[in-house]
Structure 1
């Protein structure tokens, strides 16, 4: 088949993409992203050789997709884009598999915008733009919540009146595409870990940890929304709900103001008062930067311990995501006190971002995640009936 598959991963200020040759095993042709949407936009592109970056004009996700389309058109070589796969952060309580993004499905997904305001509206606007750009292509949504849809009941529910669970207030979990890729990749690389107990730490601007047993998600640090669990670049992570009640009563903060604070002013940015970027904090001598890093490390270490308890043990620890894949310092600090789990750091391997960075009885690995490949594979499967 000579057709092409395009994957789109739209966030609040960036749109990632990858272009593939269609087939049973899609092969990547090019990848990149438009970042800084709305101000100082730039386009990063990789096709064969080294990355190239240049400034572009992109005031919104539609503009970004037009920039991407212009750049990839010569790579289509006269072939059509048969399918476009989209990362959709929230799929709701029922969607556990990739789904065609019909008008009815899109309307339903829009109801989850308040649960993932940093992502869901931008995911859906990118879908609409892709429909206009490729009106005959199959549009497939791949959901970050899908990987977590078979949690044990006790890992899904909150201890509030049960009627709310029936209304959909439950622990959804996110970063599912990343966990899907990594849990399959580790089995390809280390077959002896098939059907074992894995703890995967997806650490980036968004951060979470997932307990995986026999290839299935058992528990995740993220819950009803992508706010829960670990502190992130600008998101708070776990909070005592009494704090929000207190701020509403004593500070008179509205739901809108609380939402803005929790999503945009908290996390590493709120703790440090300096930056939401871990690289900036690592380079800083400010005590506030050190404090933010130490809190982040403490919370990651704590949640790894909780996931080990959930799994009744651990057979491997895997790091992925921007921080997890690139920061030797953060990984070392996290591992420093995990000896009770059989985890010991190989400092030299860690410093060079090797694949295997442990030397204790419990393997510790760094596996670069590839959400785009998971999406492309899903689109390829959806295209089979069309052929």
Structure 2
């Protein structure tokens, strides 16, 4: 009998779900998805079918006074779920959780004790973790008769060597779990599994570049994470849509001590007013930035590609060289300009871009003479969550 697996990915302003069917207990096929965006004030319901075609796109009424917007958004999602699982009962729900801390190296069934442990990591992922956990609680209350599986963005990086985990601080800080974790692990897990199918083999020394509104890099040695650009939090590393990425820590002290900014004001600056949006003074939407000829926007885009290439070159140290670079996520998959800029900065390492292939979107982007393989591969975090959830539910 066919069973359904629901995946849930929650952000500060959206709840995104995808539904998969498993006919033989193993193979999964996506049959659609539903999301509510624009929370809390302008909720919008969007439903897609198996081909990704939008079948419903309508505004929802704002939540009643006193009612949590996220909980109210579950009403239309549950109505949709009841309809699409009528012939294939729900077997489990898989939830994306950004931070699993040092405790969780693989997906886990959620119970009250697990939720309590995950709540301790809220300070490490303040933009994501509270929404992730609130959604799990809400879905558990509404769908109590199936397993709920937490799948972590940090888990894929648990096997990194100590030198790639630690900060140059006294050991007592590492013992208090202040260490480099890394994120976007569900995306990198998918890329590591998919690259051999696309490239025809598994390049031994690969840097995967997850370039979206959040952005990071991962060094993959034989498909395993050995280093990442993100650290204790998802604020470190590359410049992102609105996040600054890595900064001189003395700058943070300067803003507090000399500019008189409060820690909350500094956090707001670093998380919401930096990156592409802050530097350009315009937007974090790459389509908007590409349409502008403002010199500051042009400089911002050049800086972004430079920092990505700089990060890739640094991770080549962890790999002992570089055989391939994979671009993924919204910017990585869809912006030829960023890919071209990065390749240009990596030409000294033997990276040669095929301009026509890059303009066409790949997946193969490199010229025949390139010593570094260049690829563009669409990631599928929902598919990865579904795969992990099915495996855990069958245990």
> The TM-score by the shorter chain falls in which range?
over 0.9
Match of 1:182 in 2: 191
Aligned match for 2:378, one of 352, 356, 368: 368
CA change 1:230–1:58 in 2 (3 A) is farther
Structure 1 gaps of 5+ residues are none
Q: Which moved more, 1:55-64 or 1:158-167?
A: 55-64
Match of 2:254 in 1: 246
Match of 2:66 in 1: none
CA change 1:44–1:341 in 2 (3 A) is farther
Q: How far did residue 258 of structure 1 move?
A: 1.5
- Contact 1:81–1:137, Cα closer than 8 Å, also in 2: yes
What value does the CA root-mean-square deviation take over the aligned residues? Answer: 1.5
Aligned match for 1:68, one of 73, 77, 95: 77
Aligned match for 1:285, one of 284, 293, 297: 293
Instruction: Give the Cα–Cα distance (whole angstroms) in 1 for the partners of residues 279 and 4 of structure 2.
Output: 44
Q: How far did residue 126 of structure 1 move?
A: 0.8
- Contact 2:30–2:50, Cα closer than 8 Å, also in 1: no
Instruction: Give the Cα–Cα distance (whole angstroms) in 2 for the partners of residues 33 and 316 of structure 1.
Output: 34
Q: How far did residue 78 of structure 1 move?
A: 4.2
Match of 1:357 in 2: 365
CA deviation vs aligned residue, 1:133-160 (integer Å, no higher than 9, x gap): 2111100000000011111111111111
TM-score (norm 1): 0.96
Instruction: Give the Cα–Cα distance (whole angstroms) in 1 for the partners of residues 108 and 153 of structure 2.
Output: 12
Q: Which moved more, 1:259-268 or 1:168-177?
A: 259-268
Aligned match for 1:216, one of 224, 229, 233: 224
Matching of residue 83 in structure 1 with residue 95 in structure 2:
no
SS of the residue corresponding to residue 26 of structure 2 reads: coil
Instruction: Give the Cα–Cα distance (whole angstroms) in 2 for the partners of residues 243 and 114 of structure 1.
Output: 21
Match of 2:47 in 1: 45
Match of 2:26 in 1: 24
Match of 2:170 in 1: 161
Structure 2 gaps of 5+ residues are 64-68
CA deviation vs aligned residue, 1:328-352 (integer Å, no higher than 9, x gap): 1111111112122221111111111
Instruction: Give the Cα–Cα distance (whole angstroms) in 2 for the partners of residues 208 and 271 of structure 1.
Output: 18
- Contact 1:318–1:366, Cα closer than 8 Å, also in 2: yes
TM-score (norm 2): 0.94
CA change 1:41–1:172 in 2 (3 A) is same
- Contact 1:10–1:61, Cα closer than 8 Å, also in 2: no
SS of the residue corresponding to residue 192 of structure 1 reads: coil
